[in-house]
Amino acid sequence: MPSETISGAWRAEYDAMYSSSRDADCALCMDVYLPARPAPVLLLFHGWHGTRKSTRKTAEILAPYFVVVNVDMRGRGKSDGVPDANGWELLDGVDAVNHVRRHYAEFIRDPETVYVMGSSGGGGNTYAIMAKFPYFFAAGVAFCGISDYAVWYENDRVGEFRDEMDVWVGVTPTQNPDAYRARSGVHLLPNLKIPLLMFHGTEDPRVPVIHAKMYKQRADELGKPVTYVELPGLGHNLPLPDYLSIVLNFFEENRHAPVPDGQTRWSVGAYIQFDGQRLELDSIDDFAEVECVFDEQGRLLSAVAADDCSKGVRIVPV
């Protein structure tokens, strides 16, 4: 049974276990924070070198306002599996939310209102998951997030993160550029449907501010609903309490997930998931522009890689 902590405004169940929807033998772990009153769900991602324990203070700050789903990414903490840097580990986060929807329904104000938030590596997860699950979330917040993993790899001169990328991605950006595009929110931006709030310090040494600037510039070119708060003189560890009121107001103003709007061309990094269906490429390292055909009910009927017809594309029921 999960252990518990109880405060006046919330209680937490630690070490709650659930399974991957792709692999029932892959056991995954999360903490679930339950507010005193029904509230929206917020999926919280920890940082690159972290586990859910490293985001517990953040979860506690958010717990009075949300059902916080604080996950151990696969291969970290108590979660099984192998880290894959914005691969199937993002689906694990959605699986966690769906588990909470089923088992903690009485704490949830509206099961269709789901938010996502992360910092550093978790910010990179936030950028990517909003694009791989375009109709699942209502809004997202990213602090000092990684928007382009190839740029991050090349700029990591001291090897603080490159050693994990060599293993978790398995190749360098030069060896397989698509493997890095498939994981990078800036390349998946054409899929973004929901409002995003970004924070980034100009003096961040670990994830340089260029990641936010690149993402914002591309978002503006595409007309995407992205708000960027640049923090002059600040570094990598941004104190959430300083920005909590901004975050809470942003989420409160964006309470509804988008509905399918007829978009037929998608930038697919390994996979993209719609309601009841997932479009998958042959490899977790593949990237393709995919043309899709939907019926009047929004069901995906067919899909083909528009930029390279030799790339395999399949539709999987979920």
Q: For the chain, list the domains and their CATH numbers.
A: 3-262 (3.40.50.1820), 263-318 (no CATH)
Residue 3 — very low, low, confident or very high, per pLDDT cuts 50/70/90? low
Alpha-helical segments (H) within 133-281: 149-155, 162-168, 177-181, 210-222, 240-253
How is residue 173 written in tokens?
Answer: 């950006």
pLDDT tens digit sequence for 174-231: 999 999 999 999 999 999 999 999 999 999 999 999 999 999 999 999 999 999 999 9
Residue closest to 155 by CA, chosen among 173, 178, 176, 129: 173
More confident residue, 162 or 2: 162
pLDDT value of position 2:
63
Residue 158 — very low, low, confident or very high, per pLDDT cuts 50/70/90? low
> pTM value?
0.95
pLDDT value of position 269:
98
In degrees, rounded to 5, the angle at the alpha carbon of residue 283 between the alpha carbons of residues 280 and 288 is 65
Helix (H) or strand (E) holding 127: helix 121-132
Flag whether pLDDT at 7 surpasses 80.
no
pLDDT value of position 270:
98
Q: For the chain, what is the mean pLDDT?
A: 95
Phi and psi at residue 222, to the nearest 5°: -90, -5
Flag whether pLDDT at 125 surpasses 90.
yes
Distance separating alpha carbons of residues 134 and 230, to the nearest angstrom: 25
pLDDT tens digit sequence for 12-51: 999 999 999 999 999 999 999 999 999 999 999 999 999 9
How is residue 120 written in tokens?
Answer: 């550093």
pLDDT value of position 160:
81
Helix (H) or strand (E) holding 314: strand 313-317
Residue 1 — very low, low, confident or very high, per pLDDT cuts 50/70/90? low
How is residue 311 written in tokens?
Answer: 């790339």
- Do residues 316 and 278 lie in contact, with contact meaning Cβ atoms separated by under 8 Å? yes
pLDDT value of position 72:
98
Flag whether pLDDT at 285 surpasses 80.
yes
- Do residues 236 and 204 lie in contact, with contact meaning Cβ atoms separated by under 8 Å? yes
